[in-house]
Structure 1
Amino acid sequence: MLDSKKNILILMADQMTPFALSAYGHPLTRTPNLDRLAKQGVVFDSAYCASPLCAPSRFSFLSGKLPSAIGAYDNAAEFPSQTLTFSHYLRAEGYRTILSGKMHFCGADQLHGFEDRLTTDIYPADFGWTPNWDDFEARPTWYHNMSSVIDAGPCVRTNQLDFDDEVTFTTRQKLFDIARERHAGKDARPFCMVASLTHPHDPYAIPQKYWDMYQDEEIDMPTHRDSFDEADPHSKRLRHVCETDRTPPTGQQIRNARRAYYGAISYVDDQFGAILEALEEAGLANDTIIVVTSDHGEMLGERGLWYKMTFFEGGCRVPLIVHAPQQFDAHRVSASVSHLDLLPTLVELARGEPPAAWPDSLDGHSLMPHLLGERGGHDEAIGEYLAEGAIAPIVMLRRGRFKFIHTPVDPDQLYDVQADPLERANLAFNAEYAAQVEAFRKEIAARWNLAELHQEVLQSQRRRRFHFAATTQGTVASWDWQPLVDASQRYMRNHIDLDTLEAMARFPAVAH
């Protein structure tokens, strides 16, 4: 049985591909804090998000369910309040659950099991970003275009820097508050805290300090920049949605974007380092399991694609590191796993064993055999994409050597990811692999009713577009989270004697 009731700290980045991290073999990026966690922890070399887009990925990460099971179709999909998240499960086990930073909750429920939420979100909570599969040719003006690449370079401030600096500050402050409260005997519960940054998500703009950590001549360029005609149908649609070929970046602009992205990764590492420093200074490090991941990847110009929204490796692979050296020996896991697996894993870590029965079905599997280095761990990742750039559901199965991508409106794609990590050879129409293709197609038919799912997505989009149009007439009521701060209880106030107040705030406490 595991040592249960350990604190859990989840450090989450946004759009951070493992292929740009030193811990995953990149020769250039400077990430000493992530490197240390990886050296001492369990590194998953083949981890995937359940959907290569912010909100659907995060909702699946929280719930252990595929997007279609919870209506998490796109970045303006409501996350239903009745959906159980790992925060609900851990609160039931006696944990304090805390969120600082981005989670992209849409709808009136802005907590989803978190007892405390320290910041607002960087993205809106309404339905304004709903895609429109009924009129695909009309690209949404609010969506990604190539300005992030064309305008890439150093900056002094951005709204993302403002946001992530706040996330780091509030996370550190909460760790110190927890330590002081424990010392005062106020709240001894273990905690599960999520610190979720928005970097290195585009736009690719980063302060001079981080820009100067890398030089132009060092920056690796995309291995393959496919022409529009060479691209598969979904990639062509993504290039339309993002205006990739209408406003193509120059070679120098591509280099600038990648350089700024690497700088943003080093910025993320510094923020994580500051949080880990506070964890150590608060005396909590030895009793805390640390999980590092990102919501999805980043294509960075490979194949002529940017951002995410694709099941090519750059878009859907994520870093996943579990650091608990007191419980798990450092090692690497080659089997494919998924964000869907984190909920059952976190619950088992909290309890010391899995529950006798789950109150709801899950699409993931516990990572415990992998963490313990035992035989019998699964080797499977499943994904769905139902948002911008699609015109019908796209599903992905990754098992063993192979990745299979299927949508009713496009030719199938089959890749031997081990032999062909850049996914240049589509084997779906190679007679030698006909049996694998047939087996994957049968599994998809058994797992999904794609025609029915297609209609559900269309109906949801139509409802939400009408909802947004109606509720933005007249007085607009916002769902955006407003952090609750009671100024009467902060710093020095007259309802507490000075010596008492100073003693409560000082950490470590002075011995008398």
Structure 2
Amino acid sequence: MSQKPQNLLVIMSDEHSIKALGCYGSDIVQTPNLDRLAANGTRFSSAYCSSPVCIPSRASFAVGKYIHQVGYWDNADAYDGEVPSWHHHLRERSHDVVSIGKLHFRKTGEDHGFSEEIVPMHILEGKGDLMGLVRSELPVRKGAYKMAHYAGPGESTYTMYDRDITARAQVWLRERALKQAESDKPWVLFVSLVAPHFPLTAPPEHYYRYYNQNLPMPKLYGQDERPTHPYLQDYRKSFNYDDYFDRDAVKRAIAGYYGLCSFLDENVGKILTSLEEAGLADSTRIVYTSDHGDNLGTRGMWGKSTMFEEAAAVPMIIAGDGIPKNKVIDTSVSHVDIYPFILDAMGNDEPQLREGYPGVSLFDVAQDQVPDRNVLVEYHGMGSATGAFMIRNGKYKYVYYVGYPAQLFDLESDPEELTDLGTNPKYEAVLEECREKLWAICDPNAVDARAKSRQAVLLAENGGREAVIARGDLGFTPVPGVAFTLD
């Protein structure tokens, strides 16, 4: 349902796990500004990205549809503006829609729908991570050493980029407040920060806050504790980050990640303070989320690309007019639900902008309307030989792999996902019900074939398997204006 039209501030971080916010239950990570935002709004405790890797997740966020509906399968197949986004729709209706920071779309010069893109980060050379196109006999990532190597105190190109994004957002809000009377149309500002994405180099004041603690080792980190599902073995062998870790490196990495989470929170606080001091707080709604999470060493894995809560779940907080305060919603939601929420926030109720879209407005879910559906997460990218599809069916998480055994977790009794029920005969009926519900959304086998067909075309266009592997490992995308060497 459309709402009173107001401005909208969308803040997105990169790789922020729900395990690393105070308001989501962490008793270690300090995020006072995000905690305050949650107390002043509604927090969704069971929110998911559409795909646990940057480019597909961000493409889905932009267009409001699942990956299998639009393509943009992996980190070499970025959004190019061809599928209309909420940015396009709002700009066409005379709203000012501005982005500051990371977009991870294909390249500058394409029309992604924004009125203006300020210091945008797009994929390297318009090609991105080509090694993700190799889906069989997975290559070992030569750049995997970077995860451990850069973990520690200091500044990186990413922290400096975030400082610049934050400064520009503060300036934009204060300058916009001076022009507020010039337009009767509400605006949207999309501020996209890169923390806590690796490199795990955190500003010292944040890093030592955690390094000087007796931090626990990651869950199921020991070699004899790690689950041996073939999908996870594929990922660990290709993304062999853990080959470069000892206990001290683990401690440095966790302190670096947590430090970056607090650095992120500091920057969010600066942006929200500018919103308030500019006199825009009462006329602006706020969304906070991340593009996906991070395994952070759990089960011997670093980075994303899995369906565990650490990687596939995301923080999601909304605040402002028409949104309940200090409320927690346990109903499962998805990034695709932000698309209708944004339309509602702008007062738009045109039915043609909603037909064929899977999302349910977060305004409605925040008012305790429970949609009769499952949310979907899918993955078709780097480190995986097969498509992975996850749904939340009530308390159960069901993960289907093309060609590999399915997984099932009871998140009510087993929130840390320690026990895979997928091979337990007592749960055959639950598995069959979940399978039917997944097939009601898409045919995963057919989707997997479509993804691999597209990837085969892109692989051939870029010289084939050996040429792509020889090009090297990206690791992380360079910030605008900084030279970068592939490994």
Q: Partner of 1:172 in structure 2? A: 170
Cα separation, 2, equivalents of 1:125 and 1:113: 21
Q: Is the 8 A contact 1:71 1:79 kept in 2?
A: no
Amino acid at match of 1:42: T
Q: Is the 8 A contact 2:15 2:291 kept in 1?
A: yes
Q: Is residue 127 of structure 2 the alignment partner of residue 127 of structure 1?
A: yes
Q: Partner of 1:236 in structure 2? A: 233
Q: Is residue 47 of structure 2 the alignment partner of residue 53 of structure 1?
A: no
Cα separation, 2, equivalents of 1:482 and 1:255: 30
Change (3 A) 1:77 1:122: closer
2:200 to 204, 226, 231: 204
Q: Partner of 2:409 in structure 1? A: 415
Cα separation, 2, equivalents of 1:149 and 1:482: 24
Number of equivalences: 468
Q: Is the 8 A contact 1:76 1:125 kept in 2?
A: no
Q: Partner of 2:179 in structure 1? A: 181
Change (3 A) 1:148 1:443: same
Deviation at 1:89, TM superposition (A): 2.7
Cα separation, 1, equivalents of 2:93 and 2:61: 19
Deviation at 1:466, TM superposition (A): 3.7
Cα separation, 2, equivalents of 1:359 and 1:248: 47
Cα separation, 1, equivalents of 2:211 and 2:450: 48
Q: Partner of 1:475 in structure 2? A: none
* Partner SS state of residue 36, structure 1: helix
- 1:33-77 per-residue CA deviation (whole Å, 9 max, x = no partner) reads 111101111000010111000011111111111112111111111
Which runs of no fewer than 5 residues in structure 1 stay unpaired?
473-479, 484-512
Q: Partner of 1:305 in structure 2? A: 301
Q: Is the 8 A contact 1:105 1:125 kept in 2?
A: no
Deviation at 1:14, TM superposition (A): 0.4
Q: Partner of 1:493 in structure 2? A: none
Q: Partner of 2:363 in structure 1? A: 368
Q: Partner of 1:71 in structure 2? A: 71
- 1:6-28 per-residue CA deviation (whole Å, 9 max, x = no partner) reads 00001111000111110111112
Cα separation, 1, equivalents of 2:359 and 2:444: 20
Q: Partner of 1:401 in structure 2? A: 395
Q: Partner of 2:245 in structure 1? A: 249
Q: Partner of 1:137 in structure 2? A: 138
Deviation at 1:29, TM superposition (A): 1.6
Deviation at 1:109, TM superposition (A): 5.8
Change (3 A) 1:349 1:359: closer
Q: Partner of 1:476 in structure 2? A: none
Cα separation, 2, equivalents of 1:240 and 1:481: 28
Change (3 A) 1:23 1:125: farther
Q: Is residue 39 of structure 2 the alignment partner of residue 39 of structure 1?
A: yes
Cα separation, 1, equivalents of 2:264 and 2:292: 15
Cα separation, 1, equivalents of 2:279 and 2:431: 53
Q: Is residue 431 of structure 2 the alignment partner of residue 437 of structure 1?
A: yes
Deviation at 1:236, TM superposition (A): 0.8
Q: Partner of 2:15 in structure 1? A: 15
Which runs of no fewer than 5 residues in structure 2 stay unpaired?
469-477, 482-487
Change (3 A) 1:267 1:122: farther
Deviation at 1:431, TM superposition (A): 2.2
Identity, % of aligned positions: 29
1:282 to 255, 278, 285: 278
Q: Partner of 1:148 in structure 2? A: 147
* Partner SS state of residue 405, structure 2: coil
Deviation at 1:260, TM superposition (A): 1.1
Amino acid at match of 2:121: D
Q: Partner of 1:263 in structure 2? A: 259
Q: Partner of 2:338 in structure 1? A: 342
Q: Partner of 1:486 in structure 2? A: none
Q: Partner of 2:474 in structure 1? A: none
Q: Is residue 455 of structure 2 the alignment partner of residue 458 of structure 1?
A: no
Q: Is residue 80 of structure 2 the alignment partner of residue 84 of structure 1?
A: no
Q: Partner of 1:163 in structure 2? A: 161
Cα separation, 2, equivalents of 1:146 and 1:435: 44
Greater shift, 435-444 or 162-171, is seen at: 435-444
Cα separation, 2, equivalents of 1:466 and 1:132: 10
Deviation at 1:150, TM superposition (A): 4.3
Cα separation, 2, equivalents of 1:97 and 1:408: 39
Deviation at 1:377, TM superposition (A): 4.1
Deviation at 1:482, TM superposition (A): 8.4
Amino acid at match of 1:390: S
CA RMSD of superposed structures (Å): 2.5
Deviation at 1:447, TM superposition (A): 3.3
Change (3 A) 1:125 1:65: farther
Deviation at 1:462, TM superposition (A): 2.8
Change (3 A) 1:356 1:379: closer
Amino acid at match of 2:187: F
Cα separation, 2, equivalents of 1:152 and 1:200: 12
Change (3 A) 1:138 1:289: same
Amino acid at match of 2:457: R
Q: Is the 8 A contact 2:227 2:299 kept in 1?
A: no
Q: Partner of 1:496 in structure 2? A: none
Amino acid at match of 1:358: L
TM-score normalised by the chain length of structure 2: 0.89
